[in-house]
Structure 1
């Protein structure tokens, strides 16, 4: 089989007729002045309106541009302000946001760098630190020009999202948004900062600077033999019209159980992204009260190795009730998640990474998606739960450093044709 095989086809529980959905990609906004400690400056410059929107995919900027062009005179002795792979000096963050507001940007793409003069008194954006683009209008005979900052990064993000949709035209917008974020990885420079941070609160602060990192089209649209991606598109009805939680969905996924058991104590990685759209409450801004901005919220949880399906359902029901009453809950496997159940819940896109042994993961092939409160629950006259709310669940298993094929067993179980190259 080829090592790059199409990701698993989406599963839909039933047909869903609803209002047409669109995916908006928004720029995080730009910092207007530069200084040596530019990261500190970016961390106090909040995402610009409307980049804070819950349903949008907000794009920040990072940079790999650190080399000056020999043909561009006037920059002798100048240095790049941002190191390679770091946040672009142009990019804003959501570090100043209230913790209940979404972490933005969702991802970062190339947005160019800034040059610093030898004495640090002047900053500039040479051509070499910007991105090439088409010129309009063409009034001087030149077809090309340069651009930079988060608008340029957003243009690249739009191309990425459109490319995903071109490969899989039937995907929901919720799924395209999820795949962009799910495919993102932190650069070595970003990863070094995450690795040095020992608290989850510190990791979330970095998430509000970098998002989930730099997305990649190949990771978004393909499963490798040693990196399996599963996609589930589904709906559920959050409330029953009387202020009570109505449904939860249990996804019993096709799982490479035998392969994982053979790997035993080898370290593996599970990554989960849950994406859905909410209806904002026009009467409230949503900053002060947890459940007043969004129509509803969704959460995910993974079955523990020692749980039966019935025990798993009971625990999810208890957790959903605790969320309804705004009570804290204990999570016995919280330490194995990079951000953790309490830190990944802001907004309408939730993503987290689990690390553990392959044998442990072999027993975790069930994921629950369940609702938590929102203004739909408080306004039954405007509650649209009856028509169902859509969501996309993306699940990836990675076995780095292990010469195993986890894709083929799942593809066989799911009935996906396997192409053999000769």
Structure 2
């Protein structure tokens, strides 16, 4: 199977992925090679294995090697006009260290080499859709795939309606900031909504996370999460600062963005280790800096963004005091957990270090690491984002 950048320049495939995400569907993608189709064998890559584990569908690490330990499950190949009954095989051969394998009976009937195939798990069955040969934006109600997708539509939440109503009231006029600095908008909004300030990582308003920002900033923080220091070469943020930071005025800092697509000016960048299901920070491709297990990141995303209001406000100075005028709110629900690592791999999600050692106190502080996403890409991670104009 090919190593996939699912955000490659294939507009039909990308649009089809967005449709799946809009329905709130967990999925993974594989692309069969010509050799794979001829030999009826596919590698179960890291993203596929992670997806199966998220769905409690199959755990390759628990499976012994050898054909006698092969597991079969029901599978269905979906086209626009029919459902093809299939059988899925999951196994680990005795050769090549038992690298996880899979195969779907009749796959050759719906797939060509290098097509992008989505796997969806429902009721412990696998459903396959060829994203390279179908347009999921087709609204034909008789379409077999559309009928399948419709079962995933989500319902409304009464608490979100209540919160939206309160924000519309606050948006009627600018209100003064109750705190200076970057956190002013968030603190002020939470205070006006009756939310007590705390350091909890849990969502803010009866299970709904509030993400408020000034103006039209493109990148927004989705969560903060330090590395797993127990398995990382660097054992704390201060270690990273000492090795890769720089002098700035009286302080020593490491303020930079980390991406899987490029090495930054400090020599830092991400690598995705799919075999171990982990995000790794490296220095100049030579030194491993820190490790984030995939499960840690997915758990953090899930606990933070089961439901989120992404609020934009304009900053105004009135009589020398900063005021905020609420403008829009984008409502998202239930992130598609299986897409987190692929988005990090594609550089769609990045991370900011904000580490500083104070020149006067010698105290080290870390505001992150902050994992960020461009607001225009929310629909790659969250199903059915809906934006409301507040004022």
Q: Same fold (TM over 0.5)?
A: no
TM bin, normalised by shorter chain, reads under 0.3
Higher relative contact order (CA 8 A, sep 6+): 1
Structure with more of its chain in strand, by fraction? 2
Structure 1 length normalisation: TM-score? 0.22
